[in-house]
Amino acid sequence: MIRKAIATGLAPLAIVLALTGCGQESVTESPTVTPAPVRTSAAPAPTASVDVPVAAATPSPPRRAVPPTSVSIASIGVDVPVVDVGVEEGGFMELPEDPAIAGWYRWGSDPTSETGNTVISAHVDAPGYPIGPFSRLRDLGAGERIEVADADGVVHPYVLESVTYYPKAELPVNELFSREGEGTLVLITCGGAFDSATGRYQDNVVAIAAPA
Amino acid sequence: MRKTLAAGITAGAIAAFGLAAPAYAISDTTADLSVLHGIPDTPVDVYVNGELTLDDFQPGDLAGPLDLAAGDYEVALTATDAADASDPILGPVSVTLEANTSYTAVAHLTEGGEPTVTPYVNDISETAPGEGRLTVRHDAAAPAVDVLAGGTPVIENLANPEEATLDLAAGTIEASVAATGTTDPVIGPADVAVEEGVLTIVYAWGSLEDDNLDLAVQTIDGLHSAPDGVPSGSGGQLAERDAMMQTLLIVGAFGVAAAIATSAVVVSRKRAER
């Protein structure tokens, strides 16, 4: 970035040079000249009143995400591969069909992001598949360790803070999918009563874990 | 059904996150102002309300955003050796900034090649999950154009200083600009990344006649929204198994109760027999 604006409070030398460049005299006498009288003098080139960032209007390359590739929770025997997922029809988070594979919400943060939650979700069950490993999230206890490996081969440890059942309509999506704040790990699956008419569970089961 | 939850933390789970910030907010009293220089070959000084704000501002450069109190501002562009705003080469132009609004003021050429300033309002409303927003602004000394993505017109007959905005699935599009009704690029093709939750503003600037048409790009992020939900179970086997376990437990409990009752009876009978 090129900063061209000159802020107040510059080193006196710089101001002397600027004024000299304009052919003004009577400025070499004091190296401690302050910006204020300079601005009120009659003819010299003024300095900018505020420091405004200026840069070429060219696109900067987007940050490269480092996708999670697996979630391991030894205490409940979970070790699932993780793939990138986005949004499905209707604005819901997309999920791998197989409950034994979890999906990372690729539009949100990843474990290497400076801020924001890493959201990983898997079906608890699906027609034609065995019950998924995330069915055991509900058995997690506070303080238990969760490890997330990423595509660069780095393992990120987390410690469980809570497991919560939310009725699906009350899932706090803005908080869970937040891209600000501490890099919390959010694991989501389904639970509660199953409505066989709609083929849907009543609740989401949400495990929250903080970086260890 | 079991609800084995981490003890005592359930109620605090939401509180721990605090309040979620709105998608993108500036403030109720201030506006964001960016300034783009789109007049070829003419470095300028920019004065706002008579104060030098941008010194030696170069064509193709983007300044800001400045967080300014809502209200009226006078913007004037002078030669870079000017001592003040008294002899502008463009302006003064009066710009009204409303609170909680994002503006980009663009110094550019009209279709006829005259310098002008156009203040645009940037659409920073929330984007749908998985989508980004693309705004295209015609600020070049050139006739109306079509904007093509992958060779197909997506914006048609855009004239200086008009703009058009599209919400698109996040990804990279191959964008080019052609005279209206044609597909032969006068600018591009160039890859334009439409990032999720980001407003990407592409400016066509310069002059067709002088053969210095160019693209400038500005991005504003933080417009994203969360998915509507997470439908993470559709089989029902877990619920079935839970129900079965429940039944077994109940049956088991009955069995135990029955056994206790039986043995009690037996015991009392035995006692009675004595």
Residues B214-235 pLDDT 10s = 999 999 999 999 999 998 877 8
Distance CA B244, CA A128 (A): 19
Q: ipTM > 0.90?
A: no
For residue B214, the SS3 value is: strand
- SS3 string of B157-182? EECCCCEEEEEEECEEEEEEEEECCC
Residues B65 and B33 sit within 8 Å (Cβ to Cβ): yes
Say if the Cβ atoms of B217 and A43 lie within 8 Å.
Answer: no
Residues in chain B with CB shorter than 8 Å from the CB of A206 are 13
A6: nearest CA partner in chain B? B55
* B82 in a structural domain: yes
* B9 in a structural domain: no
Of A63-72, B123-132, B262-271, the poorest mean pLDDT is in B262-271
* B24 in a structural domain: yes
Say if the Cβ atoms of A161 and B193 lie within 8 Å.
Answer: no
How confident is the model at residue A40, as a pLDDT?
41
Q: Where are the beta strands (DSSP E) in chain A?
A: 54-56, 68-73, 78-85, 102-105, 118-121, 145-150, 155-167, 185-195, 200-211
Per-residue pLDDT band at A52 (split at 50, 70, 90): confident
Say if the Cβ atoms of A2 and B63 lie within 8 Å.
Answer: no
What Cα–Cα distance (Å) separates residue A14 from each residue in A20, A53, A166, A187, B46?
10, 20, 62, 56, 21
Share of chain A above pLDDT 90, in %: 67
How confident is the model at residue A37, as a pLDDT?
40
Chain B nearest CA to A59, separation (Å): 6
Range of the domain at B211: 16-220
Complete domains list, chain A, with CATH: 1-60 (no CATH), 68-211 (2.40.260.10)
* B141 in a structural domain: yes
Say if the Cβ atoms of B54 and A206 lie within 8 Å.
Answer: no
Q: Based on the structure, what is the number of domains in chain B?
A: 1
Say if the Cβ atoms of B64 and A6 lie within 8 Å.
Answer: no
CA A195 to chain centre: 35
Residues B34 and B64 sit within 8 Å (Cβ to Cβ): yes
How confident is the model at residue B269, as a pLDDT?
54
Of residues A44 and B248, the one with the higher pLDDT is B248
Pick the closest to residue B26 from B172, B220, B183, B193 (CA basis). Answer: B220
* B214 beta partners: B205
Distance CA B213, CA B187 (A): 7
Distance CA B87, CA B89 (A): 7
* B246 in a structural domain: no
How confident is the model at residue B78, as a pLDDT?
94
The string of pLDDT tens digits covering residues A158-204 is 999 999 999 999 999 999 999 999 999 999 999 999 988 888 899 99
Amino acid code (one letter) for A74: A
- By Cβ distance, the residue of B13, B128, B170 closest to A91 is B128
Amino acid code (one letter) for B249: L
* B23 in a structural domain: yes
